[in-house]
Amino acid sequence: MVMVGSKPPVSFFAYPGKPSWLLPADCTVTKLATVDHDQLDALTRLAEKLGANGEAETVPAAAAIPLPNGALTPPAIGQTLSRWLPPDTIVADEANTCAQSIFVSTEQAAPHDWLTLTGGAIGVGLPLALGAAIACPERKVVALQADGSAMYTLQALWSMVREQTDVTVVILNNRSYAILNIELARVGASQPTPKTLSMLSLANPAIDWVDLAQGMGMSASRAEGAEEFDAQFAAAMSRKGPCLIEAMVVQQMPS
């Protein structure tokens, strides 16, 4: 492995007695450059050595992307993003358990930037979208936001309205800290009890994100199905200003 930066990548969460480095034990790491070096120059010279500095490949243009229908699944949300994302959109992704399925479904979207988590802490998504919108006011920002993580920093919605940012927040509502359910299994915990599972549920009481957003002065709507979400997202992309779509997502959890 050739590394640019100070340290090799680490896993999303770290647990005692479990591997944390995302490298095989027998992998040889060659440090190409650190934060004190010109990293772009280092990568350019590496590409020249490998003969990899030719014309970049591009994804061929696809046929018109069809209107998604039926259940509002993460792939259906990705399909809608492919249909309606304006060029140069900034996507702030804290979709967590929905993220991978959405991401791989946006291959044919207009060129855009995708900002993701850099560690296991959650709650960065809404502030990340707010910062991106303030830094680049001429660009549309879309926040793909898991409902559990959004509870950590929901006050960012008020700041988005206060600063009149061009952010569309998509709350992926599965009424659960689903990422923590997955990590509970990965850590090797015994069969969780009903009490354990209740602590990771967001269904009692159910959180009404439309009411929360409107209470902070933000335009908001709720989508129950794929076609409804597609129409609401298309409308949000056609106008400027902060808004929120609560997507009642149907998600198949990994085994």
What is the torsional sign of CA 12, 16, 18, 19? positive
Here the tokens at position 49 are 């050595």
Average pLDDT over residues 38-63: 81
The pLDDT value recorded for residue 238 is: 97
pLDDT-derived band at 255, boundaries 50, 70, 90: very low
Q: Are 166 and 133 in contact (CB under 8 A)?
A: yes
Give the mean pLDDT of the chain.
86
Average pLDDT over residues 4-12: 63
Look at residue 235 and tell me whether its pLDDT is greater than 70: yes
Q: Are 189 and 180 in contact (CB under 8 A)?
A: no
pLDDT-derived band at 254, boundaries 50, 70, 90: very low
Domain boundaries, the chain: 2-50, 74-247
Average pLDDT over residues 221-226: 97
Phi/psi-derived region of residue 176, left when phi > 0, alpha when psi is between -120 and 50, beta in every other case: beta
pLDDT-derived band at 115, boundaries 50, 70, 90: very high
The pLDDT value recorded for residue 186 is: 63
pLDDT-derived band at 124, boundaries 50, 70, 90: very high
Here the tokens at position 185 are 């299994």
Look at residue 7 and tell me whether its pLDDT is greater than 80: no
> Model's pTM, two decimal places?
0.79
Here the tokens at position 249 are 């997502």
Task: Match 């970049």 to its residue by tokens.
Answer: 56
CATH node for 74-247? 3.40.50.970
